[in-house]
Amino acid sequence: MSLRSVAVLFSAIVFAAPCASAQVSQGSDPNRTQWRIDAGEMSYVVGVNEQKMLQTLYWGPKLAPGATLPAARMHPERASFDPPIATTPLEYPAWGAGLFTEPALKVGSPNGDRTLILQYADWRQTGDQLEITLRDTAQPIAVHLFYQAYQQGMLARWSRVENLGKEPIHLEQSASATMNLPQGTGYEWSWLTGQWAGEWQLHTAPLQTGMLVLESRRGSTSHQTNPWFAIGRTGATTERDGPAWFGELGWSGSWRITLESTSLNNVRVTAGYNPYDFGYVLAAGESLETPRFYAGYTQHGNGEVSRILHRFQRAAILPTRPDPKPRPILYNSWEATEFDVNETGQIALAEKAAKLGIERFVIDDGWFGARKDDHAGLGDWQVNRTKFPNGLKPVIDRVHSLGMDFGLWVEPEMVNPDSDLYRKHPDWVMSFPNRQRTEQRNQLVLNLAKPEVKEYVFGFLDQLVTENDIAFLKWDYNRNWSEPGWDTTPEPKEIYVQYIRNLYEILARLRQKHPKLEIESCSGGGGRVDLGILRYTDEVWTSDNTDALDRLSIQDGFTHAYAPQVMVAWVTDVPNFLDKRTTPLQFRFLVAMQGALGVGGNLNKWTAEDMEISTRLIAFYKGIRPTVQTGSLYRLTSPGTGGDSQVEYVAQDGSQAVLLAYLHSQRFGLDYPTVVLQGLDPGARYSIRPLDASKYKGESTVQGSVLMGAGLQVSLTGDYDSTALVLERVR
Ligand code: GLA
């Protein structure tokens, strides 16, 4: 059934406008066979069919109140080669009875039955959370499916697989959810890939028959693919318009999302733990809970996909604080000094940073152990007394007296073989017996799955934050797994689950004990960004690539999946360390202002003019920060489509809008294209305050409908030119 035929089916009764609500169908009827979940502008309906199997009935635009769907029915077999089990859009397909498509669940039993047939058993509802239980027809296994609706327009799904018997059950694959799209063709999918210093590259391609696998086998989220996707209709879905089904997985370990379009045009998404090298044994009575998979739907294109995700992340994912405040403007000297940090040098930088209006001063790598370069010291989290003879206190006190708070870099999960920690506990590293431990960046991964390692990591971090007045940790993670062995357990493959659970536990305990502490998730740039880690961290390091031109596309891709407020962006020196490109200071600032602004240049080398420009631009950013960090983002023109790009942010209350406009490279002396704004109140008038008077010659007050129709003109010329306009709604 195509989306169009679904729409036709309900055209007589669909009249309700989308409203910001979230609810699951109420009641307690034990004979119920259909459940509907509304979240924002989306409805999702599941039903039990005549063979007691649970199937997706609907995932699409919000249905009218009281609308009911035809009863769930097994789909017919398509010749003897495609049995009903494979053609029916099941909610949680298990491998068995001729399921040849992607399963959500697969069990292994060395000698016995390795298949499952999951039938509906029970349901219950707690608040906005629906739980539907399935049971296998032969083995003592229950699967609890959870559905949680969010008013921002998202549905969270996860499962818990439970062993009801006496014998252990071996899980080989256990997904969070399967979700079926309307059957048909003509879909296209978008996804994000990358590498170190080149994360967040967006791709879009037609979805054809076959299976597309987005995954990480690396033990962490990865730079290479991010657990996010959006599916649209070719020709109909654009940045501004059209249907889009989308999802994001909340897991920071090895993960997999498969997008499958079968030869019968059944289109489904399965997301969860990566089954590659997966193994989990459920003893009698034990359960395994899977990560949260978050899904949504909009009729308003890829721009709205992002805005729904941004609103949802701010409201339901990111940690909340008793005293909410915007992301502070930070200074970090990593690019300026690398490992060469010391008391006098850092204080000198802090004094200059404070003059610019910086609010947080962060010491990066190099402050601890025998750390001169990346060959030694990881694991020895004591202050290096040669560099900081009096400990960190004098620097922290000076930073505070300058009106900034203090942050510190750590890489808690790693160890250099050249460290006291490794010499004392070589057994704490993940490894296989009799096999060389592969070093990357001269470091090995601690096995956080081991309780004693978890306690050590929590202990030293707790001590560090207790003994020093630290407001912020930049938590780094600079390699992936190579020998994922766990020598002290009968089930070593459980490392994929237990490691990440312990990571989350450490973060949660730290935050609980130190409620004011903020944490940045960094993994050699953007290698660990997902909705799992973001439940415990306040921001992420977007990429080690700080070249402003590259950053435009990196940040554009990032915002498809994650909110601008978590996207940390530094202004650094030119020529850029990575590609030797030189861009003007204002261009670098206006690019970094797209998210949480930071500065990472060597301030000792900045001229009086650089300092003056920066002070002015930092003050300007403070005036637009709430709109950038908590407003609605519109990608007016994405970089890569031409020689220019623009982003616009509209404040939550509509009182302010901000336009950031960039010219990458002018061709043939052509004028900068007209900029047509979005998201404004058409009837309201807006006063326009340009950052550069010379680059905006238009009227000082313009009506919203004109700005969103005729647009406005800015004058940018040459290479790497940029400007900003602030629009205030006139009362
Ligand atoms: C990683 C981070 C950088 C910096 C270095 C320090 O590469 O992404 O920002 O902290 O580690 O070694």
Over residues 361-399, the pLDDT tens digits come to 999 999 999 999 999 999 999 999 999 999 999 999 999
- For residue 494 and ligand 1, the question of a CB distance below 6 A is answered with no
pLDDT > 80? residue 663: yes
Assigned token pair, 607: 């001229």
Q: What percent of the chain has pLDDT over 70?
A: 97
pLDDT of 664 over the 60 cut: yes
Two tokens at 614? 């920066």
CA of 223 to the centre of ligand 1 (A): 14
Nearest-angstrom CA–CA distance, 700 and 707: 12
Q: Which of 369, 371, 389 is nearest to 380 (CA)?
A: 369
Pocket of ligand 1, candidates 199, 478, 542: which has the most ligand atoms within 8 Å of its Cβ, to mutate? 478
Atom 2 of ligand 1, nearest CA residue: 524
Pairing of strands 405-410, 472-475: parallel
- Name the residue with tokens 């750390």: 371
pLDDT value for 321: 83
Average pLDDT of the chain, as a whole number: 95
Residue nearest ligand 1's atom 12 by CA? 365
State the distance from the centre of ligand 1 to the C-alpha of 476, rounded, in angstroms: 7
Q: What Rg value do the Cα atoms of the chain yield, rounded? A: 27
- Taken in order 592, 593, 597, 598, the sign of the CA dihedral is positive
Output DSSP code: residue 594.
T
**pLDDT exceeds cutoff 60 at 4:** no
Name beta bridge partners: 721.
Answer: 663
Return the sign of the alpha-carbon dihedral for residues 75, 76, 79, 83: positive
CA of 365 relative to ligand 1 center, distance in Å: 7
Phi, psi of 335 (to 5 degrees): -70, -25
The answer, yes or no, to whether any atom of ligand 1 lies below 6 A from the CB of 407, is: no
Catalytic one among 544, 547, 550, 721?
A: 544
Mean pLDDT across the stretch 420-445? Answer: 98
Question: Can you tell me the distance from the alpha carbon of 547 to that of 542, in angstroms, rounded to the nearest whole number?
Answer: 12
Strands 280-282 and 169-181: antiparallel
Check pLDDT > 60 for residue 665: yes
Nearest-angstrom CA–CA distance, 11 and 670: 48
Whether the CB of 410 sits within 6 Å of ligand 1: no
Atom of ligand 1 nearest to the CA of 374: 12
Contact 564, 629 (CB under 8 A): yes
Q: What is the number of other CB atoms lying within 10 angstroms of the CB of residue 76?
A: 10
What angle do the packed helices 608-630 and 585-592 form, to 10 degrees?
20
Q: How far is CA 126 from CA 26, 122, 147, 148, 197, in A?
A: 10, 14, 10, 10, 44
> Is residue 9 over pLDDT 70?
no
User: Would the CB of 365 count as within 6 Å of ligand 1?
Assistant: yes
CB proximity list for 256: less than 8 A, separation 6 or greater: 213, 214, 215, 216, 270, 271, 272, 273, 274, 275, 276
- Is 555 in contact with 591 (CB distance < 8 Å)? yes
- Quote the pLDDT of residue 279: 97
Q: Is the CB of 522 under 6 A from ligand 1?
A: yes
Lowest-confidence segment of 106-110, 175-179, 563-567 by average pLDDT: 106-110
The helix (H) or strand (E) run that includes residue 458 is helix 451-467
Residue 108 buriedness (CB in 10 A; 0-12 / 13-18 / 19+) = middle
Residue 444 bridge partners (DSSP):
415
Question: Amino acid letter at 38?
Answer: D
Order across the sheet with 701-703: list the strands: 632-637, 644-650, 656-665, 719-729, 685-690, 701-703
C-alpha torsion sign, points 444, 449, 453, 455: positive
DSSP lists the bridge partners of residue 632 as 650
**Minimal CA–CA distance to 58: which of 91, 17, 33?**
91
Q: Report whether pLDDT(16) > 70.
A: no
Which of the 8 DSSP states describes residue 505? Answer: H
Does residue 35 line the site of ligand 1, with CB under 6 A? Answer: no
Which token pair is 379? Answer: 């694991």
Per-residue pLDDT averaged across 95-107, rounded?
96
Q: Is 335 in the pocket of ligand 1 (CB under 6 A)?
A: no
- pLDDT band per the 50, 70, 90 thresholds, residue 21: low
Cα distances (Å, whole numbers) of residue 321 to 51, 327, 330, 516: 48, 12, 19, 7
Read off the pLDDT of each residue in 120-146 and give the average, rounded to a whole number. Answer: 95
CA of 541 to the centre of ligand 1 (A): 9
Task: State the amino acid at position 454 in one-letter form.
Answer: K
pLDDT higher than threshold 90 for residue 68: no
Q: Cβ distance 677 to 659 under 8 Å?
A: yes
Here the tokens at position 21 are 């609500």
For residues 304 and 32, give the distance between their C-alpha atoms in angstroms, rounded to a whole number.
34
Question: Do the beta carbons of residue 418 and residue 376 sit within 8 Å?
Answer: yes
3-state secondary structure of 708: helix
Q: Is 524 in the pocket of ligand 1 (CB under 6 A)?
A: yes
Query: 323 falls in which pLDDT band (50, 70, 90)?
Result: confident
Contact at 8 Å (CB) between 629 and 607?
no
Q: Whose CA is nearest to atom 11 of ligand 1?
A: 524
| Mean pLDDT of all residues in 105-110 | 89
Best probe residue, ligand 1, of 544, 568, 599 (max atoms within 8 Å of C-beta): 544
Tell me whether strands 141-150 and 644-650 are parallel, antiparallel or unpaired.
unpaired
544 lines ligand 1 (CB under 6 A): yes
Q: Whose CA is nearest to atom 3 of ligand 1?
A: 524
Per-residue exposure over 669-683, b if at least 16 CB sit within 10 Å of its own CB, e if not: eeebbebebbbbbee
The rounded distance, in Å, linking the Cα atoms of 586 and 454 is 44
Torsion angle in degrees (nearest 10) through CA of 531, 535, 536, 537: 60
Q: Which atom of ligand 1 is nearest to the CA of 409?
A: 10
Q: Give the CA count within 13 Å in the CB-facing half-sphere of 16.
A: 17
Residue 475, ligand 1, Cβ within 6 A? no
Identify which of 224, 227, 218, 214 has the alpha carbon closest to the alpha carbon of residue 194: 224
CA separation (Å) from 721 to 556, 557, 588, 674, 711?
A: 18, 21, 10, 16, 20
CA distance from start to end of the chain: 49
Name residues whose C-beta falls within 8 Å of residue 593's C-beta, 6 or more positions apart in sequence. Answer: 569, 617, 621, 624, 628, 660, 724
- Distance (Å, rounded) from C-alpha 311 to C-alpha 316? 8
Task: Name the nearest CA neighbour of 541 among 559, 553, 528, 556.
Answer: 528
DSSP letter assigned to residue 621? H
Cis ω before 575 (30° cut-off from 0): yes
Q: Quick one: three-class SS letters along 12-37? A: CCCCCCCCCCEEECCCCCCCCCEEEE
Q: How far is the CA of 381 from the centre of ligand 1 (A)?
A: 16
Active site residue 544: yes
* Distance from residue 349's CA to the centre of ligand 1 (Å): 19
Rounded to the nearest angstrom, the distance between the alpha carbon of 524 and the centre of ligand 1 is 5
User: How far is it, in rounded angstroms, from Cα 275 to Cα 95?
Assistant: 13
Q: In whole angstroms, what is the distance from residue 37 CA to residue 34 CA?
A: 10
In short, whether 600's Cβ falls inside 6 Å of ligand 1 is no
User: Model confidence at 112, in pLDDT bands (50, 70, 90)?
Assistant: confident
Q: Measure CA 210 to chain center.
A: 26
